[in-house]
Amino acid sequence: MRTLLYRSYLMPNQEWIVFTIKGTNLWKFVLKGLDNLAKAVFEISGSKIYKLYLMIDDTETAKTGNVSYRYYVKYKKTWDDYSRFWTYVKTNGWQNIKTKESEVTFKISPYLETKFEYANTIHRSLLWAYHYMWYNNRVLDLLELSKELNRRFIEEIKAKLGASKFDKGLLDAWRMGE
């Protein structure tokens, strides 16, 4: 069987939501608490978090270490077997080894992935018609749900790290997606 894949991004004008937070010992939360926060907000188990890699480089200077951490969150809040919500989280930054002063840049890309399997071209044509005539309207409702969950996820991150709710750049990004 072949696969027909549609990917709908949360914000049509840009793929990534980017914000930077500066503070003390932020990487402790990123490495240990961010997974638990994702479980609580998206109402998923730990098996739905796919960790891609963790890179810690403390050889750059004697005072700071660079840290990079990436993972996917897969959560299903849909009513069918075809669609899955994904949130891709990339974090990058540094932390001073002695004073624990740190900076974390979050890049978050939420999207809805719809995957249909088909056997032949007639089946594919019927799936295409189904998607564009009926299912496309349902996708808009699903994207609104994803937008609300990801907004709550970002607000919780900023609240846990002691940042304001929205900085100007992020607020403009959310408005562009509406």
Q: Check the CA dihedral 31-167-7-13 and report its sign.
A: negative
How far is residue 170's CA from residue 165's CA, in Å, rounded to a whole number?
10
Contacts of residue 146, Cβ cutoff 8 Å, sequence gap at least 6: 10, 77, 85, 110, 112
Per-residue pLDDT, 122: 92
pTM: 0.79
Q: What is the pLDDT of residues 59-79, one digit of tens each?
A: 555 556 677 888 788 876 666
- The total number of structural domains in the chain stands at 1
- Which residue stretches of 117-167 are H helix? 121-130, 136-160
Per-residue tokens: 51: 């960790």
Enclosing domain of residue 118: 2-177
How far is residue 6's CA from residue 11's CA, in Å, rounded to a whole number?
15
